[in-house]
Amino acid sequence: MRRNQLFWGVILLLVGGLMLAGEMGIRLPNGNSLMSIFWPVLLIFAGIWVLLSIFLRGSAETENVSIDLQGAQQASLKLDHGAGEFKVHSGASLNELVHATITGGVEQKVNRNGDRLEVKMRPAHDFLSIPFLGPSNQLDWDVSMNANVPTSLRMNLGANKSVIDLHDMNITDIKLDTGASETTLTLPSKGLFLADLDLGAASLTLIVPDGLSARIRASLGAANMNVDESRFPRSGGYYQSPDYGTAAHAADITIDAGAASIRIK
């Protein structure tokens, strides 16, 4: 709560100060209103706050979370995560969908819909708090998934470092949204699936396992993308494995990126 109050208190002071200066006729040397620098100043403040969080992380309890499969034949899993370290891999037991070690608290919702288990997990924080802004916030997740159950996977990640290894999992589709993150994502080695990747100011290493064909389509802003064209030759506006149309195991990958650095191998 103190972190939340401090952040919003500074924002209110900043907005009020700039508005007061504008009403008093104080302007920048170029003639623009002081309010014109609000967003740059806010971004600088937020950046300093994020950097401080690396060195001033407070203590937080670690808990083990187990989500029973309940006999479901398929599943959807949505994971929201803020600042910290985030890992996903196989390793849950046959009777679990997820077994996780969580630092910083977690809220979970589990719903059985026919033969489908629907699970959502997100950090436990106060309403209107900013999870990645605050030195006392620590969110380290190590998530083991059931490798056998067909699962639709959604991940919404903040300013974190992520290692997501899905190479031995049964994933039907992947949706990844990242902010200012460093992410290594290994795709499933088998199946036919979609991978929709939406990146902000991020670094992404995308590993396509041997034997998995891929078609890669990208919409890039100020982004740099390095693709192994010995495996995925460029064809018009996309990259594609030579056997993509006939492969038994293939990924249809779409990437939307801003100021990102992307490596695909």
Distances (CA, A) of 4 to 84, 129, 167, 227: 18, 5, 39, 41
136 and 211 both lie in a single domain: yes
Cα–Cα distance between 106 and 99 in angstroms, integer?
A: 13
Could you give the percent of the chain with pLDDT greater than 90? 60
Q: Which run of H or E residues covers position 163?
A: strand 160-165
pLDDT of residue 44: 75
Note whether 183 and 234 are same-domain residues.
yes
**Mean pLDDT of all residues in 93-108:** 94
Judgement on whether residues 29 and 66 belong to the same structural domain of the protein? no
- Model confidence band, residue 54 (pLDDT cutoffs 50, 70, 90): low
Full DSSP string of 214-265:
EEEEEEESS-EEEE-TTTS-EETTEEE-TTTTT-SSEEEEEEEESS-EEEE-
Q: 101 has which bridge partners?
A: 64, 142
- State the Rg of the chain over Cα: 22
Note the pLDDT tens digit of each residue in 192-244.
999 999 998 889 999 999 999 999 999 988 889 999 999 999 988 899 999 99
The per-residue pLDDT for range 7-31, each reduced to its tens digit, is: 566 666 766 676 776 667 777 777 6
Q: What is the mean pLDDT of the chain?
A: 85
**Do 81 and 183 share a structural domain?**
yes
Out of 75-79, 181-185, 222-226, give the one with best mean pLDDT. 75-79
**Domain assignment of residue 13, given as a range:** 2-55
- Matching residue, tokens 């949204």: 177
Mean pLDDT within 92-106: 94
CB 252 within 8 A of CB 215: yes
Let me know whether 113 and 20 are in one domain: no
Can you give the pTM of this predicted structure? 0.76
With beta carbons less than 8 A apart as the criterion, state whether 3 and 129 touch: yes
Sheet holding 182-186, edge to edge: 62-68, 96-103, 140-145, 84-90, 160-165, 182-186, 203-207, 261-264, 224-227
pLDDT classification of 76: cutoffs 50, 70, 90: very high
* Rama region for 134: left / alpha / beta (φ>0; ψ in -120 to 50; rest): left
Among 55, 74, 96, which residue terminates a domain? 55
Same domain, 216 and 124: yes
134: pLDDT strictly greater than 50: no
- 7 and 121 housed in the same domain: no
Instruction: Look at the block and give the residue holding tokens 């891999």.
Output: 89
| Residue scoring higher pLDDT (127 or 148) | 148
User: Looking at the structure, do residues 236 and 108 belong to the same domain, yes or no?
Assistant: yes
Query: What does the pLDDT look like over 105-128, one tens digit per residue?
Result: 899 999 999 999 999 999 986 434
Q: Which of 213, 163, 215, 175 is nearest to 191 (CA)?
A: 213
The percent of residues above 70 in pLDDT, for the chain, comes to: 77
| Same domain, residue pair 9 and 74 | no
51 plus 70 within the same structural domain: no
Query: Same domain, yes or no, for 162 and 190?
Result: yes
Q: How many domains does the chain have?
A: 2
**pLDDT score recorded for residue 1:** 42
Tell me how far apart the alpha carbons of residues 68 and 39 are, in angstroms, rounded to a whole number.
45
| Helices 2-23 and 38-55, axial angle in degrees (round to 10) | 160
Half-sphere exposure (CA, 13 Å, Cβ side) for 6? 10
Residues 144 and 39 in one domain: no
Query: How far is the C-alpha of 184 from the C-alpha of 187, rounded, in Å?
Result: 10
